[in-house]
């Protein structure tokens, strides 16, 4: 305990160096800048939300009859939760809108028109989470590397204390120091949220802590890698190893997992083929109805009703089944992606961040399910209004904020497995680092 206390104080004092403080301060400012950018982005979505609802209400007032309403439909907006401020650029979804009509197609799109062309698209590092992975990992790798490169210093200290105790003291002191630093940045980011009037719900708090936990795990993992790089006899070899490890875990591994997932996703039915299948079902019905009953006129409304009800029970059900099948296939692929991501701390961090942001795969599937449900409700509404009402004026289908989808922050499947794998990696890496450390104190 005495050695640990002395080492901890010594390591903390070393950090008080002007240069190191400057680097850490710069990093802190950069992180907070990205949180503020995320907050601005979130606020702009909230503002857009009101404009979106007003426009949607006005659109309905423009329709003269239900046939127009059915053809144009309504739009549904994906509204991310407040935790998305940390993941503006690194999550799967940047912005999402869906158009729901009575047609066979289900339109979910990311707009590139007008100002949305210039908004940040997904898949980068330009946010708090991304910068933590890109620069934070590099900083921590170097922090680990630097803790092991001063061989004479360790040799001298080893004369005064047990090697294992010395190693544990150095490693645990540094782990505590950078964990506190990251949590401090996290704390300051919360202050920014509060200053901007963003309040987290209880569930969001839990997931914020989960994200911080994953961030600390990722940092410890990179730190352990750094300590291994620091134990090389040649500093050059150590440094090259450090940069290679950074490249592998920050770029290569996520790229491979994305590539594998994309490759496996080839099994999912083609969206064009699916649209064709649905069109075939619908057109098959149209042809059959025309052959049986002839063209629809004012005199045979009863027959038309029967036909529509039959289509509702059979063809539309078949179309819905196709959409549900697609959702299931996507779900399977998402599950595969999440399981694969668990194996490496950097991909686990990305996967967890995706879901915690509320802009990940899980929320996409929820959004998809919600649209699917609304679509069938809208078709039913359309049938009822078109064929059974008194045809006077067009009533809006959407009540209140039903056309807004509020994403929920969730944990990815296999979250505990991911934590467990990360812990195992960390333990193994520290064990390797200790063996190498013992060897490195040899002259």
Structure tokens that stand for 191 in this block: 């202050």
β-strands 107-109, 74-79 pairing = unpaired
Smallest gap from Cβ 440 to another protein, in A, equals 9
Smallest gap from Cβ 168 to another protein, in A, equals 13
Nearer to another protein, 14 or 305 (CB): 14
Nearer to another protein, 6 or 327 (CB): 6
Nearer to another protein, 20 or 290 (CB): 20
User: Which residue in this structure is represented by tokens 């992975």?
Assistant: 133
Alpha-carbon distance 253 to 260, whole Å?
A: 11
Smallest gap from Cβ 258 to another protein, in A, equals 40
- Nearest 5°: the CA angle 339, 345, 347 is 55
Binding site for another protein (CB under 8 A): 2-3, 5-7, 9-10, 13-14, 17, 19-20, 146, 149-153, 155-156, 158-163, 438-439, 441-443
Nearer to another protein, 13 or 61 (CB): 13
Nearer to another protein, 3 or 48 (CB): 3
Nearer to another protein, 153 or 406 (CB): 153
Smallest gap from Cβ 135 to another protein, in A, equals 21
Nearer to another protein, 161 or 331 (CB): 161
Alpha-carbon distance 30 to 131, whole Å?
A: 8
Q: Are the C-beta atoms of 329 and 322 separated by less than 8 Å? A: no
Alpha-carbon distance 170 to 164, whole Å?
A: 10
Nearer to another protein, 399 or 442 (CB): 442
Smallest gap from Cβ 2 to another protein, in A, equals 6
Structure tokens that stand for 50 in this block: 């009101």
Of 172, 182, 190, 6, the closest CA to residue 86 belongs to: 190
Smallest gap from Cβ 223 to another protein, in A, equals 17
Print the SS3 string covering 8-73.
HHHHHHHHCCHHHHHHHHHHHHHHHHHHHHHHHHHHHHHHHHHHHHHHHHHHHHHCCCHHHHHHHC
Length of the chain in terms of residues written: 443
Smallest gap from Cβ 153 to another protein, in A, equals 4
Smallest gap from Cβ 443 to another protein, in A, equals 4
Nearer to another protein, 113 or 442 (CB): 442
Smallest gap from Cβ 147 to another protein, in A, equals 9
Sheet containing 404-406: order of strands? 107-109, 97-100, 74-79, 404-406
Alpha-carbon distance 105 to 378, whole Å?
A: 13
Nearer to another protein, 11 or 127 (CB): 11
Q: Are the C-beta atoms of 209 and 419 separated by less than 8 Å? A: no
**DSSP notation for 370-408:** HHHHHHHHHHHHHHIIIIIS---S---S--TTTTEEE--
Smallest gap from Cβ 232 to another protein, in A, equals 13
Nearer to another protein, 33 or 156 (CB): 156
432 contact partners, CB below 8 Å, separation of at least 6: 228
Of 173, 183, 187, the closest CA to residue 143 belongs to: 173
Smallest gap from Cβ 155 to another protein, in A, equals 7
Helix, strand, coil tally for the chain in percent (to 5):
75, 5, 20
- Nearest 5°: the CA angle 326, 332, 334 is 100
User: Which residue in this structure is represented by tokens 């296939």?
Assistant: 329
């Amino acid at each position: 305990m005495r050695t640990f206390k002395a080492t901890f104080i010594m390591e903390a004092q070393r950090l008080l160096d002007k240069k190191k403080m400057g680097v850490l301060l710069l990093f802190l400012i950069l992180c907070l800048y990205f949180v503020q950018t995320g907050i601005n982005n979130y606020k702009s979505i909230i503002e857009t939300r009101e404009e979106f609802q007003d426009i949607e209400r006005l659109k309905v007032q423009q329709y003269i009859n239900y046939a127009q309403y059915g053809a144009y439909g309504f739009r549904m907006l994906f509204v991310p939760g407040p935790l998305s401020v940390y993941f503006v650029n690194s999550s799967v979804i940047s912005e999402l809108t869906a158009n729901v009509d009575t047609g066979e197609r289900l339109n979910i799109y990311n707009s590139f028109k007008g100002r949305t062309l210039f908004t940040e698209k997904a898949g980068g590092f330009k946010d708090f989470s991304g910068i933590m992975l890109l620069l934070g990992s590099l900083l921590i790798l170097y922090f680990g590397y630097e803790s092991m490169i001063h061989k004479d210093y360790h040799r001298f200290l080893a004369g005064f204390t047990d090697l294992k105790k010395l190693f544990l003291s150095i490693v645990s002191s540094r782990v505590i120091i950078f964990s506190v630093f990251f949590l401090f940045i996290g704390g300051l980011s919360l202050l920014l949220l509060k200053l901007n009037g963003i309040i987290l719900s209880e569930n969001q708090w839990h997931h914020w802590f989960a994200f911080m936990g994953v961030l600390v795990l990722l940092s410890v993992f990179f730190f352990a890698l750094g300590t291994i790089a620091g134990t090389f006899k040649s500093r050059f070899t150590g440094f090259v190893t450090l940069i290679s490890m950074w490249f592998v875990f920050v770029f290569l591994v996520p790229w491979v997992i994305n590539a594998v997932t994309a490759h496996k996703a080839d099994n999912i039915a083609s969206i064009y083929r699916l649209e064709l299948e649905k069109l075939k079902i619908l057109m098959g019905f149209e042809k059959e109805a025309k052959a049986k009953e002839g063209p629809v006129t004012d005199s045979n409304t009863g027959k038309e009703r029967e036909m529509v009800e039959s289509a509702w029970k059979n063809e539309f059900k078949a179309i819905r089944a196709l959409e549900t099948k697609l959702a299931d296939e996507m779900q399977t692929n998402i599950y595969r992606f999440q399981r694969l991501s668990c194996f490496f701390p950097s991909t686990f961090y990305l996967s967890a961040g995706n879901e915690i942001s509320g802009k990940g795969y899980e929320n996409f599937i929820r959004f998809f399910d919600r649209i699917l449900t609304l679509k069938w409700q809208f078709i039913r509404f359309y049938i009822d209004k078109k064929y059974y009402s008194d045809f006077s004026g067009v009533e809006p289908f959407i009540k209140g904020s039903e056309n807004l989808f509020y994403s929920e922050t969730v944990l990815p499947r296999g979250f505990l497995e991911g934590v467990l794998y990360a812990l195992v990696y960390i333990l193994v890496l520290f064990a390797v680092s200790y063996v190498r450390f013992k060897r490195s104190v040899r002259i």
